[in-house]
Amino acid sequence: MSWFYPQPIHARRLIPTTRVAAGAKTSLGFGYQFNSLESGGQDEAELSTVFRSLFHSPNANVYQTVQVAQAMFPVLRYVPLPGWQIIRLAQTKLRAIGQRLLQKSQRESAAAAGEKDLGKGRDLLALLVKANMSGDLPASQRLSDDEVISQIPTFFFAGHETTSTALSWALHALSQHPDVHDKLRQELLSLPTDHPTMDELNALPFLENFIRESMRLYAPVVFNQRMANRDDVLPLAKPYVDRQGVSHDTLPIRKGQVFTVPILAINTDKQTWAEDALEFKPGRWDDLPEAVHSVPGVWANQLTFFAGSHNCIGFRFSIVEQKAILFSLLRAFEFSPGAAVIGPIISNVLQRPVSFEPGTAGLVSTGKFPVMLREYTAQ
C-alpha cells in the first residue's frame, strides 16, 4: 500500500541528513556506532549529546559564529563570548571520547599484530594507529597520542554539516526539476541490487553529472580564506586600474595578508560557465565550455572542495556518501516542492535551502526546508 504526506515535510525532520552524515563518519572514521537514527541508544548519550548541543540547540548558530570569530581572530579565545562554556564542555567531552577510542584501537591493533585478516580494523582511526605503531616508522615521524586524538573531532566535524547541507540542496534540485528527477531514478533502478558497491555507483554517468551540478550551483561553503605565509606577487587573469588610473596585471601580497576566495561566485561565473551558469543543468557536464578547464579545483573543475595542497581532505568520502544516500532515497520516494519560495540563507560560511514566507518587511525565512514526499511505486 502506498502512502502520501498531504502536507510539506521539513526535510531534515523526515530525512535527518545531518545525523545520517554524522553516523557514516563515526562508523567509517573510527568504528564508533553513533546510533544517529535511533533515540536513546547507549552511545548516543555521549557523542550525540555533544553533536546536538553544538549544531541543533536553539543557540547553535551563536556557538558556530563564536567559533568562526575565534578562528579568524585568535585573541577572542580569551574573551568570554556567548556560549563559550558550552563549547569548552563539548571540547572536554570530545577529548575524553577520543582518548577511549584511541586506547581501544591501540589494544585491538596490538592484539591483531601479525594477523592476515585485512577485513578487521579498517576504519580510519585503526589504520592511523597501525601506521603509527609500525616498526618501520622512525620515532621522529610518530604522532603523539594528543596528535592522534585531535584527528577525531577534525574528521567528525569537518565534513558532516557540509555534506548534509549538500544533500538538502540535492533534494531541492530533485523537487524542482521533474525531468532530472525521473532520469536519475531510472538510472539508479538500472542497478540490479539494493546494496551497490562504490565502483558501481561511480560508474553511473548521470548520477555523477547530477552530483557535480548540485555541488557547483549549490556549493555548501560559499567562500574560504587563506593567509599568505610570505611576501609574493599574484598574477591576475585580467588587469585592474587603480585610483590613479594606472593599470596593473599583478597584485603584490604581504606576509600575513588574509584573502577571501569566493567559491560560489567562481562556480557560477558566466564568463566561465556560459550564460546559463545560474541554471541547474546536469547535462552541461557532457560538453563543458573550454574556460571551465582552467578552474584549478581539486574535483570537477570547481572550487567547492577548494584547490591546491590544502583542499578538502574528505571530498571523495563526501561524494560517495551523497551518491549512496541518494541511491536509497530516490529508489524509494518521489520529491516535489513543498513551498512556493525556496532560496539560500547563509549562516557563517554555509548556504542552506530554506523556505520564505511573506512578512511585514517582505519575505521572511522560516528556517525550514519543506518538501512533498510520496512513496515511489513502479508503474
- Could you list the residues known to form a binding site for heme, using ranges: 312
Count the alpha carbons within 13 Å of 82 in the hemisphere toward its beta carbon.
Answer: 8
Q: For residues 376 and 334, what is the distance between their CA atoms, to the nearest angstrom?
A: 6
CA distance 50 to 338: 31
Residues 6+ apart with CB under 8 A from 79: none
Sequence-ordered list of residues with C-beta below 8 angstroms from that of 257, at least 6 positions apart, any chain = 227, 228
In the block, cell 508503474 appears at 379
Contact indicator for 369, 353 with CB cutoff of 8 Å: yes
Phi/psi zone of residue 305: left (φ > 0), alpha (ψ -120 to 50 degrees), beta? alpha
**Binding-site positions:** 312
